[in-house]
Amino acid sequence: MSLQIYNTETRQKETFKPIHDNEVGIYVCGVTVYDYCHIGHARVMVVFDTVVRHLRALGYNVTYVRNITDIDDKIIKRALENGESIQSLTGRFIDAMHEDEAAMNVLRPDIEPLATEHMQDIESMISTLIEKGHAYPAENGDVYFNVKSDEDYGRLSGKNIDDLESGARVEVNEVKKDPLDFVLWKASKENEPAWSSPWGEGRPGWHIECSAMSTKCLGNHFDIHGGGMDLSFPHHENEIAQSECATGEHYVNTWMHCGFVRVDDEKMSKSLGNFFTIREVLKLYHPEVIRYFLLASHYRSPVNYSEDNLEVAKSSVSRLYSALESFTPEQLTAAEEGTNYEVEFNDAMNDDFNTPQAMAVLFELAKEVNKTKSETLGGLLKKLANQIGLLEQDATVFFKSQPSQSDLTDDAIQSLIDERAEARKNKDFARSDQIRDELLAQGIELLDSPQGTTWRKV
């Protein structure tokens, strides 16, 4: 089947047709870098990494752009609190973000624009909006977008301007012509970074950054725009308004949004104390377990972060790796061709990136690999799983790299295995069992076979 994608704007699945043959431009709203990335960021990273992988597997030449917001109210506040420069703060957390995504096997975007490096593009778009009557400078040095100048405002979220206006909070802001108008340029304040502009010293509003960077990198009209569901309004709604009013062209063909991450069925938030960074979770679970967990629910559905669900993910990934455990990496280089497994896997991914169904195909294939011990079917299992970023390691490496409560080194574990082998040779089965039980208590499982004893972390 051809690729079908659910378009948030039209609220239906549509057959994907790129603007230019075989070329796909995709822009995803990235992270505001003032702290470590959390599990909600991880979902957006993993989902769109998987989308890009599948598009490339279909043969498309993809240009993947994911921006970094490196100037923002939260960034300024955190830098002042820390007594450090904004560049130092954002640089540190950009490096941390790259470390986190690499750990989860998230491929780097082709282009990763920084807001602070696109001030000229931002200024140019704001100037165009003013010239066309869609924006106005205020007396205080701010510049605002005139929402009512855009007849189509609200089409992404389905919100009506009259309803928005009647529900708007009364703001003490005499410089805005209308409560719905939003800021494009903020006049500088004390202790804040500022850039020169025709409207005075200041910095851009958040929404205009993405419009300027996306059109700069991909053109005025491109294929796919994505992000978390929380961004659909007002951020993405405002992006559409700014971009189309500035360029006069249709902005994006397909809008994709990820569902929320919940924690034990509650919304994740720092105030509730249920907020988890990626690196905190990586101390407890293997990166592929986290990736599997994030893909086990359809990307448009909410995903519930809980210890139980992560343990299920750990068991599931272990089952897939177990099917490959008896093969060497060299035996898995060739993949069986022309099977129904590959057809069903790709059909699932072509159905709006249905990763839960694609994973179900992987488990059926794993059963067949266990049954037949076929190297080419094992190669196919690895190949298909790799298309969604799973089964990237050798099985033996995976099982030995699980986070555990044990602080034993590999050499120390092997020493105990050797001692146990000697005890068994001497028929000291009490000591043999004691070593096995002591290791198991530390999360180290011993596996005996005619070829000897191996171990894995559980």
The answer on whether 217 is annotated among ligand-binding residues is no
Q: What are the Cα distances from residue 279, in Å, to 96, 392, 408, 436?
A: 9, 20, 22, 31
Which residues 6+ apart lie within 8 Å of 303 measured at CB?
43, 259, 260, 261, 262, 293, 294, 296, 297
C-beta separation of 148 from 182 below 8 A: no
Q: Which has the closest alpha carbon to 378: 338, 325, 340, 316?
A: 325
DSSP state letters, 303-356:
EEE-HHHHHHHHHHHHHHHHTTTTS-GGGGSS---S-HHHHHHHHHHHBT--HH
Dist CA 77 CA 328 (whole Å): 52
Angle of helix 287-295 versus helix 355-372 axis, rounded to 10: 120
C-beta separation of 244 from 151 below 8 A: no
Q: How far apart are the first and last CA of the chain?
A: 39
C-beta separation of 454 from 413 below 8 A: no
Locus of tokens 């491109």: 222
CA 142, 147, 151: angle at the middle one, nearest 5?
155
Exposure b/e, 161-179, CB count within 10 A at least 16 = b: eeebeeeeeeeeeeebeee
The answer on whether 235 is annotated among ligand-binding residues is yes
Chain centre to alpha carbon of residue 27: 13
Q: Which amino acid is present at 414?
A: Q
Dist CA 143 CA 166 (whole Å): 23
Q: Which amino acid is present at 413?
A: I
Q: Which has the closest alpha carbon to 381: 324, 456, 445?
A: 324
The answer on whether 29 is annotated among ligand-binding residues is yes
Chain centre to alpha carbon of residue 254: 18
Angle of helix 287-295 versus helix 307-322 axis, rounded to 10: 110
Say what the alpha-carbon torsion angle 416, 419, 421, 423 is, to the nearest 10 degrees.
-130
Q: Which amino acid is present at 168?
A: A
Pairing state between β 202-204 and 222-228:
unpaired
Q: Provide the annotated binding site.
A: 29, 210, 235, 239, 270
Q: Which residues are annotated as a binding site for ATP?
A: 270
Annotated binding residues for Zn(2+)? 29, 210, 235, 239
